[in-house]
Chain A
Amino acid sequence: MSIPKSFSRICKPLGPSCSLPKQSLLQVAYRLHNSSAHQETAEAYARDPTPIERATLAFSSAFTAIADPTRQDAVATLAETTSTYTLPLLRSKMLSDPTGRRILRTKPLVSSKTLDLPHLRSLPPGTFGREYMNFLDGQGVSPDTREPIRYIQNPELSYILTRYRQSHDFYHTLANLGVSVPEELAIKYFEFVQTGLPMTLLSSLVGPLRLTKEERRVLFDVYVPWAVQCGGKAKFLMNVYWEEWMDEKVDVVRKELGIIPAPKV
């Protein structure tokens, strides 16, 4: 499909200093329907999208994600293009906290390279690190499956969103929730209360539409009340240096951070 030239020109930034993308954003949006094309397009993209481009991306990724919730790249794009006003607030909160400042200074990453996974597996049962590994192994996921940031150029804001994504599995561990759709949505509600990121709100509102009646009942009767209460009461989790809590007993960690595990259904 060819994109009219005039239309792609609208999407270009006005300033001469910006390096122009090789492809217009409309093409990016179009190619969202094709996962592999999306990957390569976004990598070629080296500047902040303009507001029009951002809106286009947000809409197209939102519809893609609604059509196919397993499309992690679409959800990631939605998060990046809608968090322009929320990320600075998260940064302010982090800068006002000693640990938050330490995290922003050292910028730790969570991956199989930075975490010594065999060591975590060897920790005594009941420690946070061991529970975390149990979760990863039990659900068959890896800390490396997180999407990279594509559309945020500011290194600090980009890092904060990365940190938020990489902390996701720690929330699962502490909340004692699996990866079924209702459970994921429970975590999304929890994250919305904690961070206020618009993507978490959109997921929380649209996600339940695809649930069965029974699943929806469980979500709204059990998980959502838990998420709202627990998310509101708990410490601000972006200011937690997860790597330093691995040796602690998981119950101690929960108590310290003010998290109660989600009720079992």
Chain B
Amino acid sequence: MNTRTAYIARLNRSYTRTPCTKRLTRNLRSPATLRQTTLASAPHPLADPDPRKPVYTTHDLSHIEQTHRKRESVSDWVAWSAVRLLRFGFDTATNYSDKLNVMNERQWLNRIVFLETVAGVPGMVAGMTRHMKVLNSLNRDQGWIHTLLEEAENERMHLMTFMGLRRPSPFFRAFVVIGQAGFFTLFTIAYAISPKTCHRFVGYLEEEAVHTYSNCLLDTEVGQIRHWTVTPAPLVAKQYWRLPEGASIRDVVAAVRADEAEHRTRNHEIADVKEVEKGNPKTDDTKAMPPPDHHQIGTKRDQFNNDIQHRSPLLQSSQRSFHSSRKLRASEPATPSPDDAAPYDVVIVGGGIVGTALACGLATRVDSSSPLSVALIEAGDLFRPINTQPGQFSNRVSSLTPGSVKFLDDIGIWKRLDSSFLYPYSKMRVWDAVGNGAIRFDAKDNDGAPIAYMAQNNVVQAALADVAKEQKERISVFNKTKVENIVGNVRSGEWPVVHLEGGRRIRARVLIGADGVTSRVRDFAKIETVGWDYSQKGIVATLKVDSSVENVTAWQRFLPTGPIALLPLAPGYSSLVWSTTTALSTRICNLPIDDFVTLVNTAFINPVEDIQYLTSQIGPDGTPQTDFKSESEWGRQRSIENGDVRTMFPPSVVGLVEGSRASFPLRMRNSVTYVDDRIALIGDAAHTVHPLAGQGLNIGLADAEALTKVLLEGMEDGQDIGQIHVLEKYAAARYLPNVTMLTAVDGIGRLFGTDARITSWIRSIGLNLTDSIAPLKSAIMKYAGRTFP
């Protein structure tokens, strides 16, 4: 009680010198304040003693400079203008004046409390956003989040301190709530758009705060709040800043100013560092950034500095340059094994298009002085001669999107391909057999470039095999060689050893599974897959089509049993991909050719009931049980008589290239992970997708491209490229895009896989709406073609 009496007595002494004593008395006598004073010895419950919190010396506090960072970029100007605007608004709203001895205590407290309710937002939003981003991008945080949250915490403590001096009115509180809601929302949006600008904004905002608090300090000397120099600081503040006994509110304001100066410097730093991070990572290592200038606020806090340096991204990058200077030799085994198996840096199991493209990508793009060795194992014949007769088409064809074409061009394959085997198409028509939904893509939606190129798989494969053969000092091809077994405890750092047919064994620094849906490598790594079989099969065939019409359009019609697509191969020839139920696919493949052709035409042109009827009239051995031609013609005739308007005119199919009919099961699969220690999966080994969007090979090539880049970068940095930390960058680059694509394709399949009326109605609206929005169509094409920046 003695303490309390003395305290109030001191207060009363100070009041005599100031005009506005009553309000302060009332506030200080609020229960919370009284409790503080009576429990002076115990730690205050609100105070959060942070061991990292710097202890300011008197010298620190009195030597805070009002600085201003020069505005250089557009984002600096945006941030600066936003701060000026905000400041103008606040000044007007709180009746603030820069002149001395104008503001009374109430006005000062209003301004400070309101500003601090807002000031706590940016740190929290930035920390939160950053936290979410590193979670979803599977990246490292590099020490940002804690710093940002600390800033928010610090601002909150400012608020707690000043709240002890002023109990806000309900009106003021409402104002705070609205202000916070608005500022939080806007700042979150802005932070999602440009974190750099936002940090610069906070930097400038804190410049203004330092300015304001400096004015406030001056006012405590000459203005209406002179009593702040003697009013004791609230206990919560004393504990937080560890102020000496007898510290006054003025000291608190000075400490707050020091904090704001600290935030100012920090946020400008962050804005600068982000700029460097976004720049060239190669120069990042060499570019000397000045160390954070903590002398500006002149605080003594070695512990704190250590902490910052420990978490500083700048320091981390300099550590990286230290590693890269060591330049690990790529072919030097990290863990020598007492095994006579020949070591290779990269062993690719599976010489399909994706696997061979990876081998070629590594071999052609690696630094010529680098001793990279690649082994490519193919069970079939990689160098199988292909039939290049005109009119001879393999039924295994793919549509290569611009993104895939670019990759093939980068690794020197594209220009080797005989252009007569590449057939660009510039139009795409997709429509719904149930309802009237339709969507039309044209080259103009794709900036005039072809939508995609139809290419026969074996032609692309042969060109890749040629390059692999030429690169024989880098790529060892184990052709017509089966993998018998894969052994090795990769978890304990061993390299996996591949046992080949004929007793040969090779060791892999990194083992790539490019061996398709039933991947041996994936089994070895015990990587599970998730997904489902569609209980559907895809029927493929090469068709002769009416050669009198220009064959430059890809056609796809969604039937309730699955989509049917007609893809141009050459004038007069198209490729068929028809997804249908497993039971029907066998029957359709066994149909006599004439009836098959009739059925395909029916499937593209007739009402959906006719297709259902005809497919129901095929015997188990493929014999038609009704007159296909007559039923199909009558069906078409009656639909016209009943007012059905045909809007799509695919070329009529006139024949089938003998022996080109085949079917394959359709499934969706995705590996739960694409990488493990010394293991990476690409292409169909990693994921399988429904062919309705023609994306399977394209996302496989995207995998090969991403893995090529990751492995080459790893080698440049002198890292062991079998390390999961290197391989994880590949998974991070491809997992989300692949899952998105798989999900989108599966969703489209499901949406169209039903003829329920409400669904067909919704998708008709959706298709037609999409069709009428050109930018949306353009965006879809860019996404599917991987041509977006």
Contact = CB atoms under 8 A, between A and B. Distances in A.
A157 B635 CA distance: 15
B641 A95 contact: no
A96 to B, nearest CB: 5
B45 interface: no
A162 B593 CA distance: 40
Interface stretch (B377-385, B415-423, B612-620): B612-620
B323 interface: no
A105 B617 CA distance: 17
A104 interface: yes
Contacts of B638: 104-105, 156
Contact of A95 (B613, B626, B643): B613
B607 interface: yes
A121 interface: no
B641 A101 contact: no
Contacts of A96: 609, 612-613, 616
Interface string B599-618: 00000000101101100110
A98 B609 contact: no
B613 A101 contact: yes
B635 to A, nearest CB: 7
A118 interface: no
B634 interface: yes
Contact of B607 (A95, A98, A105): A95
Contact of B609 (A92, A105, A154, A157): A92
A155 B642 contact: yes
B617 A98 contact: yes
Contact of B642 (A92, A105, A154): A154
A179 B634 CA distance: 39
A59 B612 CA distance: 37
A230 B617 CA distance: 28
A220 to B, nearest CB: 31
Contacts of A98: 613, 617, 626
Contacts of A92: 609
Interface in A66-114: 91-92, 95-98, 101, 104-105
Contact of B643 (A101, A104, A154): A154
A154 B638 CA distance: 11
Interface residues of A, number: 13
Contact of B610 (A95, A155, A156): A95
Interface string B612-654: 1100110000000010000100110010011100000000000
A156 B609 contact: no
A91 B641 CA distance: 14
B642 A101 contact: no
Contacts of B616: 96
A130 B716 CA distance: 95
A155 B643 CA distance: 10
B609 to A, nearest CB: 4
A156 B612 contact: no
Interface on chain B toward A: helix, strand, loop, or mixed SS? helix
Contacts of B612: 96
A188 B643 CA distance: 31
Contacts of B643: 154
A105 B634 contact: yes
B635 A95 contact: yes
A157 B638 CA distance: 12
Nearest to B612: A96
Contacts of A97: 613
A156 B642 contact: yes
A171 to B, nearest CB: 25
A92 B610 CA distance: 9
A162 to B, nearest CB: 15
Interface string B418-459: 000000000000000000000000000000000000000000
A97 B617 CA distance: 10
B653 to A, nearest CB: 22
A64 B631 CA distance: 43
Contacts of A101: 613, 631, 634
Interface string B323-363: 00000000000000000000000000000000000000000
Interface string B651-689: 000000000000000000000000000000000000000
Nearest to B631: A101
A134 B613 CA distance: 37
A22 to B, nearest CB: 24
Nearest to B642: A156
Contacts of B635: 95
Contacts of B634: 101, 105
Nearest to B617: A98
A105 B613 CA distance: 14
Interface centre among B613, B626, B634, B641 (most CB of A within 10 A): B613
Interface in A136-157: 154-157
A104 B613 CA distance: 14
A157 B641 CA distance: 12
Interface in A28-82: none
Contacts of B609: 91-92, 95-96
A98 B634 CA distance: 13
A97 B641 CA distance: 20
A92 B638 CA distance: 13
Contacts of A104: 638
Interface of A: 91-92, 95-98, 101, 104-105, 154-157
Closest 4 CB pairs of A and B: A95-B609, A156-B642, A96-B612, A96-B613
Given A101-B631, A105-B638, A157-B642, 6 more contacts: A91-B609, A95-B609, A154-B642, A154-B643, A156-B638, A156-B641
22 contacts: A91-B609, A95-B607, A95-B609, A95-B635, A96-B612, A96-B613, A96-B616, A97-B613, A98-B626, A101-B613, A101-B631, A101-B634, A104-B638, A105-B634, A105-B638, A154-B642, A154-B643, A155-B642, A156-B638, A156-B641, A156-B642, A157-B642
